[in-house]
Amino acid sequence: MFHVMWSASKMRIWTFICVVLSLSTLCCGYIITTPRRWTAGEDSQVCVTLSKPATQDEIILFEMEEIFHSSMNVLVEQNIVVPQGIQSICQEFALPWTKADFAEFSIFGSLEGQTLNHRRHVKIATNVFKTFIQTDKYFYKPSETVQFRILTLTGPYLQVSMETYKEIWIENPSGTRLEQWINVSNDFGLIHLSFQLSNEPEMGTYIIIVQSLHEKNFEHSFEVNEYVLPRFEVTINCASKVLATTEMIHF
């Protein structure tokens, strides 16, 4: 679905359809389109189409303001230039990450001598980005090998991501990096890595940290400790005498 803005705002719907289909018959007019739904963290287009090639460079201001908790903050603010002699142009804008579900799409300026002051609400979809880190077990002893795998799901349909991981590293309980991997390729969507513990490692909680290309970190922890079998004692107090005819013995 697209928002469409046109110069004769009081026309009926059927007249509006004629304006779109018969734009070349107008002496001066324009259409501005943009998707009804923008996705945070991705690019979207704004297109400007004139009824005839521009007689001079036309410049309009485009703004996108988030609507979040009754407050409005500008997310995008940029000029759209329609060069002289050009009739139609599309420009891409990157929408930054935001928690807002809606934004106000605004166009200001003038086209072909007509003043523009359009405002529309658009929906903002959140681009889901989740990374899962799984170790082969939670508890490790010294000298054991920690094996782990990483899977990332992204997009509104939770597709498996094939993006390269910018950095992966392991920290010991003191916060020291013990091993790291840079620009880890992810050709199959699921990567497997391993880490060898020393004979005398620091005991406690270790953290696996994964940094994506979006500069977002994901963590998973595991424990390293000496495993000692628990000791216990069982004391049985039995009767001093048991008769041969006794059917039940109480301890």
156-190 core/surface letters (b: 16 or more CB in 10 A; e: else)? eeeeebeeebbebbbbbeeeeeeeeeeeeebeeee
The answer, yes or no, to whether residue 148 has pLDDT greater than 90, is yes
The answer, yes or no, to whether residue 8 has pLDDT greater than 70, is no
Query: What's the pLDDT score for residue 35?
Result: 86
Helix (H, G, I), strand (E, B) or coil at 17: helix
224 confidence band (pLDDT: 50, 70, 90): very high
Q: Which CATH architecture has domain 129-224?
A: Sandwich (2.60)
Q: Half-sphere exposure (CA, 13 Å, Cβ side) for 80?
A: 26
Give yes or no for a contact between 42 and 96, defined as CB atoms under 8 angstroms apart. Answer: no
Same fold, 2-126 and 129-224: yes
Give tens-digit pLDDT for 25-36.
345 678 888 888
The domain segmentation of the chain, as residue ranges, is 2-126, 129-224
Give the class (CATH, top level) of 2-126.
mainly beta
Tell me what the pLDDT averaged over the chain comes to.
Answer: 81
Of 11-15, 72-76, 201-205, least confident by mean pLDDT is: 11-15
DSSP of 110-151: EETTEEEEEEEEEEEEE--EEEEEEES-SEE-TTPEEEEEEE
Give tens-digit pLDDT for 64-74.
888 877 667 88
223 confidence band (pLDDT: 50, 70, 90): very high
Give yes or no for a contact between 58 and 82, defined as CB atoms under 8 angstroms apart. Answer: yes
18 confidence band (pLDDT: 50, 70, 90): very low
